[in-house]
Amino acid sequence: MKKVLFLILTFCVSLTIAYAQKEMRLLRFPTINGNTVVFTYAGDLYSVDSKGGTARKLTNDVGTEVFPKFSPDGKYIAFTGQYDGNTEVYLIPAEGGTPKRLTFTPTLGRDDVSDRMGPNNIVTGWKDNKTIVFRTRGWEFNDMKGKLFTVTIDGGDPIQVPLPRGGFNSYSPDGSKLAYNRMFREFRTWKRYRGGQADDVWIYDFKSKKTENITNNPAQDIFPMWSGDKVYFISDRDSRMNLFSYNLTTKETKKLTDFKDFDIKFPSLGDKAIVFENGGYIYSFDLATEKVSKHTISIDVDFVSGRGGLIDVSKNVTNFDISPDGKRGLFGARGEIFTVPVKNGPTRNLTNSSGIHERSSKWSPDGKWIAFISDESGEDEIYIIPQDGSAKATKLTSGGDTYKYGFIWSPDSKKLLWNDKKQRLQFVDIDSKKVTIVDEAEAWEITSFDWSPDSKWISFSKPEVEMMTKIYLYSLESNKSTPITDGWYNSTSPTFSDDGKYLFFTSQRSFSPSYGWTEWNHIYQDMSKIYLVTLSSETKSPFEPKSDEVTIKEKPSEDDKGKGDKPKDDKKSSSDVTVKVDLNGIVNRIIELPISASNYFNLTSAGSKLYYNRNGSKDQKSKLMFYDFEKLAETEVGELDRKSTRLNSSH
C-alpha cells in the first residue's frame, strides 16, 4: 500500500513540475553573455541560464521593454523602454535593478513597436564597455530613414556616428570599423523581397572614410555581427532567413544554419555565441563549434493578462448591423457577437466563446439568422446562428485555406457571398452547404460585389492583368460571368437598384488636367463619376426627354360609379422583383449621371434615390449625397469626418 501511495504521489509531483515548467513560446529579442540569456516576453525583460530552465523577470513596467543588449563585459544591459511616455534608451545592471534613462527625445508618434519601420531609439549594440549604439528617427522627417548615435552609460548628449543613415550594426573588435545596414526594415516582414530596400552589409572605415559592400546580393542581408575575422549576418538568399558568415581574410561567404519552417529573427552576438529567435523559441549558435542548440525556457509568473474578468466591450466594437424590423442592433466586439434591444429586453451574447474570435456579423434579410466568420476550427469559416441564440451555431464552410474578408447575404436569405485573400469570390448555400466559386482574379483581390434583388445575379468588379478593373455580371442559372464594361477605364463599386432595372457603378472616365504653379506639368484629379447601365434592353433611360401633355379626364361609366379611387401601392419587396438582363449590347447601354467629377464610393440604392459619399479635391470634408431619379436632381445631406466614411463595406 505504501508503494502504491508513493507511486501516486510521485506521479502527481511529476505532473506539477511538468505543468510549472511548460516550455514558453513567443520569446523575442534575445541577447547573450557567458551563460546568461536575456529576452523579451510580453513586453518585459527576463533572464535565464543558457542551459534553459525557469526565467527570472527583470522588468515589470506597463510599458514595453525590447532590444536588450549585454555590454561586452557583461555588467550592464542596455534596452529600449517605454517608462516616461516616450520610447528611449535605458540601462540596468545585468542582474537587474532600477532602469536609468539615457536619452531624451521629443514625442514623434514613432514609438509603436508594431510600426513597419520599427520603433524609435532602438538599441543596436555596444561600441565598448561604456558606449551604447542606438538607431533613432528623431533627426529625420522621413520615418523610413534612421541615423546611428552613441550615448555613454553616464548619459549626456548623444553623438552621431558619421554616416548619413544606418540600421543594425556591429563594431570591429578594435573599434576602427563598423559593419552596418543602411536601411532598417526588419519589422516590414516581406518574404523573399528583392527590391530596392533589400539591405546589404557594408563596412565603413573610420580612418580612410571608405565604405565596402561585403554581401552584394539581391536578397536581404541584415543584422551584421563582427567577431574576430568574421562578420556574421542573416540572409534569405535561400528563401528562409538563415545565419551566414563572411570571412574578411578569404572573402568566403558560408551558410551556417538551415532552418526550413521559420526565419531566424533578431540575432545578437555574445562573447561565445550568437543567440536568436526562430518560430518563437530561442536558439544559440556556438562560435567555436558552429553547433546550434535550442534553449528550453519556462516562465513561472501569474500571467495576469490571461485571466478572465469583466470587460467593457462597448469600447471595442468592430462591426455593426441592425435587424430588418429595426428592433435590435447587432454588434461585433472583442471577438464576440451581441444583439442589443432598441428599448426593452436583455443584451444577448450569441457566441460567448473565450479563446475564439468571431467577426463580420450580419443579419439575414428575413431576420432569422445571424452569420459571422469564426476561427473556432483553426481557420476562417462562415457560421450562422438563430438570431435569438436558441440553438448552437452551424458551420457552413469547411477546409478554409485563406483569410475571408467579409460577406453579404442574398436578398432571399438563402446564400452568402464572400471574398478572400486568394482573390476569389464565392457563395455558399445555407441549406446544402454547397460552395460555388463565382470568379478568381489574377491581378488583385475582388473587393466590391453585390446581389441582384431577386438573388439570381451577382455583380462584381474584377482587377485585370493587362487592362483596368472591369464590372462583371454573374448568372446563378448559367454559372457564367459576362463583362459589362470595357478595359479602358477603371470601374468599381457595382450596386443594383432596388427595382432591379439598373446597375450603378463608379468609373474613372473624366480627364480634366490641371497645371502646377512651379513646373509646366499636368496632373489628373477627380476622375470618377457615377454611371448606370440599363439591365434590360426594354428599360428606358431615366434621363430621356420628357414632355408635359394635357390629360383628358373621361366621364366615369355607370359600372364605375360608386367604386371610388383605390390607393396605389408601388412599393415592392425584393421577393416581388424579377431582374431581366439582356447581355447583348449591354456595354453600349452605359449612362453617365449628370454630376460633377470627383471621388465617389459607398453607393447604396434606396427606392428612387441613390445615396453615395463624395470626397473630391475641392471638398473640405467627405459629403453624403443622394441623387433623386424622380426629380433628376442631386442633394447634399451633410458633411462627414473623412475617417468615418471608409466603413467596412463590401458593396
Q: Secondary structure of 278-317 in the HEC alphabet? A: ECCEEEEEECCCCCEEEECEEECCCCHHHCCCCCCHHHHE
Residue 488 belongs to some domain of the structure: yes
Burial class (CB in 10 A: 0-12, 13-18, 19+), 547: exposed
Dist. CA 295–CA 623, nearest whole Å: 58
| Pairing verdict, β 336-341 and 328-333 | antiparallel
Say if 48 falls within a structural domain. Answer: no
Mention every residue, 6+ apart, whose C-beta is less than 8 A from residue 598: 526, 528, 529, 614, 615, 616, 617, 618, 619
- Of 133-142, 370-379, 603-612, the poorest mean pLDDT is in 133-142
DSSP 206-232: TTT--EEES---SS-EEEEEEETTEEE
Rg (CA), the chain: 32
Q: Which amino acid is at 177?
A: K
Asked which of 255-264, 447-456, 616-625 is least confident by mean pLDDT, the reply is 616-625
pLDDT tens, residue by residue, 115-143: 777 888 999 999 999 999 999 987 777 76
At 459, which amino acid appears? S
* CA 311 to chain CA mean position, Å: 25
The model's pTM is: 0.71
What does the CA dihedral 288, 289, 290, 293 come to, rounded to 10 degrees? Answer: -110
* Cα–Cα distance for residue pair 51/49, rounded to 1 Å: 5
Cell of 407: 460577406
Q: pLDDT tens digit string along 307-329?
A: 777 888 888 999 999 999 999 99
What's the whole-number mean pLDDT along residues 87-91? 96
Give the DSSP per-residue string, 172-190: -TTSSEEEE-S---TTS--
User: Any residues with CB less than 8 A from the CB of 364 and at least 6 apart, and which?
Assistant: 370, 371, 384, 387, 409, 413
**Residue 441: CB partners within 8 Å, gap ≥ 6?**
423, 424, 462, 463
Strand partners, 275: 268, 284
Sign of CA dihedral 429, 434, 435, 437: negative
Which of 12-21, 261-270, 472-481 has the weakest average pLDDT? 12-21
DSSP category for residue 33: E
Could you tell me if 530 and 612 are in contact, meaning their C-beta atoms sit under 8 angstroms apart? Answer: yes
d(CA 109, CA 584): 56
- To which H or E segment does residue 6 belong? helix 2-20
Range of the domain at 636: 452-542+572-651
Answer whether residue 650 shows pLDDT above 60. Answer: no
Give the three-class secondary structure for 473: strand
435 occurs within a structural domain:
no
DSSP string, 378-421: SS-EEEEEETT--S--EE------S-EEEEEE-TTSSEEEEEET
Domain containing residue 623: CATH number: 2.130.10.10
pLDDT (0 to 100) of residue 592? 95
Structural domain count of the chain = 1
Question: Running DSSP on this structure, what letter comes out for residue 23?
Answer: B
Residue 497, domain member (yes or no): yes
* Amino acid (one-letter) located at 279: G
Max Cα–Cα distance, the chain, nearest Å: 116
Pairing label, strands 88-93, 292-295? unpaired
What percentage of the chain carries pLDDT values higher than 90? 75
Question: Could you give phi then psi for residue 128, rounded to 5 degrees?
Answer: -155, -170
Indicate whether 123 belongs to any domain. no
Q: What is the mean pLDDT of residues 11-36?
A: 73
Instruction: Output the pLDDT for position 4.
Output: 43
Per the model's pLDDT, the better-predicted residue between 608 and 515 turns out to be 608
pLDDT of residue 9: 44
pLDDT in tens, 166-217: 999 999 999 999 999 998 878 887 888 998 889 999 999 999 999 999 999 9
- Amino acid occupying residue 580: K
pLDDT digits (tens, 9 = 90+) for 532-577: 999 999 999 999 888 888 888 777 666 655 554 544 444 455 568 8
Rounded mean pLDDT, 5-20: 42
> Is residue 333 in some structural domain?
no
Cell numbers 545592471 correspond to 93
How many Cα atoms within 13 Å fall on the side-chain side of residue 295?
37
Please state, in angstroms and rounded to a whole number, the distance separating the CA atoms of residues 157 and 163. Answer: 18
